[in-house]
Each structure stands twice: as structure tokens, then as C-alpha cells.
Amino acid sequence: MNIDELKNDWKNLQPENSIVKELSMLKKTKGNSQLNAIRLRLAIEIVSYVLFLAVYYTMFDGDKKPLYANLLLVGSFLMVIIHSLTGYLAAKNIVSGGNILQSMVNYHKKLKGYAIVSLLTRTVSLICLLVFFVSSIELDTGKKWMLVGLVLIVVIQAYVNYKIWSVRIKRIGECIENWQS
């Protein structure tokens, strides 16, 4: 067999249709399932925050609240939206090194910083939401206890988010350690 025959055979070689179909199905379904879940969550969050911001002024008497409460609420919600968008873009562009191990190390470092900012933005936005709703209310003893309960819920939520992020970061760190050994 000479080189020309080999080239002709190569050109005429047709892959099995089942393999091509399996690869295309894998690409459609499994390839970006995590990214699709992040995108869906991001869309739901953004729509929810934007809808809330669109109606809070009239539905929750934003015009009767102090200016600082309105600014805190809007600013914190915009901060969460921007942070979620940057998180999605970061998840979309994970590869950032010469090899897989270096990309994982870089991702691990970025994830630690992202986790801290995520915890802060979520917690601050909940506190700002509480400030907004409490800013024009006279607090008697019963309302103060309800406020203490709400603050406790915010603290518990922050702790649960911290534990979730810790597990994620630890899991990636263990993968890096296993890969290096």
C-alpha cells in the first residue's frame, strides 16, 4: 500500500453513526450540566432581585422609609447581582493554567476569595433587607424579640453557607493533594 492509497482510505473512512450520535448526545446533556444549573440559578436570582427592586418602593412603602434604608437595600441587591454574574463568568472560564493541576490550584485560590465575598454579600444583603423593613418601625419589646430572632436566622444562614463553601473548597483541595501525590 502506497501513501496515495492510504490517503484515499483515510478520506473515505466514515465513523460509525452510533459513536457520532453518542458523542453529540454527551455534549448536549452532560457536558455543561453544572454550568446550566448555575445559569438557571443565576437567572432565577436576577429575575427575583430585579422584580423585588421594581416593586419594593410602592409595595413596601419605600417612599416612607429613610433614604439610607433605600440606598442600602438597592445597593446590597445590586452587589449580589453583580457578584452572581462574576461568579458565573468565573465558573465558565475555569481553565487558567498550563495543565490541569495548575488550573485546579488557580481555581482553588480563586474559589477561596469568591467564597468569602459570597458569604459577605449574601449576609450583608439580608442585613440591609432587615434594616429596610425595620427602619420606620417603633420597636417595642415584642418586636425587638422578633428582630433578635430574624438576626439569629441571618447568623444561622451565614453559618450554613460557610459550611457549604468549606466543603466545596476542602473537596477541591483534596483533589489537588491526591493529584500531586
- 1 domain-assigned: no
Predicted confidence at residue 9, as pLDDT, reads 72
- 4 domain-assigned: no
Predicted confidence at residue 121, as pLDDT, reads 93
pTM: 0.73
**Total domains, the chain:** 1
6-10, 51-55, 121-125, 139-143: which range is least confident on average? 6-10
CA atoms within 13 A on the CB side of 97: 13
Range of the domain at 88: 17-180
Strand, coil or helix: what is 137?
Answer: coil
pLDDT tens-digit readout, 108-126: 898 899 999 999 999 999 9
* Three-class SS of 62-127: HHHCCHHHHHHHHHHHHHHHHHHHHHHHHHHCCCCCCCHHHHHHHHHHHHHHHHHHHHHHHHHHHH
Q: Say yes or no to pLDDT of 29 above 70.
A: no
Cα dihedral: 75, 78, 79, 85 (round 10): -170
- 8 domain-assigned: no
- 5 domain-assigned: no
Q: Say yes or no to pLDDT of 31 above 60.
A: no
More confident residue, 100 or 13: 100
Rg (alpha carbons) of the chain, rounded to whole number: 25
First-residue to last-residue Cα distance in the chain: 47
Predicted confidence at residue 28, as pLDDT, reads 54
Predicted confidence at residue 102, as pLDDT, reads 85
22-36, 37-51, 62-76, 104-118: which range is least confident on average? 22-36
Reported as a pLDDT band with limits 50, 70 and 90, residue 12 is confident
- 170 domain-assigned: yes
- 122 domain-assigned: yes
- 117 domain-assigned: yes
- 138 domain-assigned: yes
Reported as a pLDDT band with limits 50, 70 and 90, residue 178 is confident
- The count of other CB atoms within 10 Å of the CB of residue 69 is 19
Note every long-range contact of 87-93, with CB atoms under 8 Å and residues 24 or more positions apart, other chains counting. Answer: 87/38, 87/42, 87/114, 87/118, 88/38, 88/39, 88/42, 90/114, 91/34, 91/35, 91/38, 92/35
Q: Tell me which residue of 115, 55, 112, 53 sits closest to 83, measured CA to CA.
A: 115
- The count of other CB atoms within 10 Å of the CB of residue 42 is 16
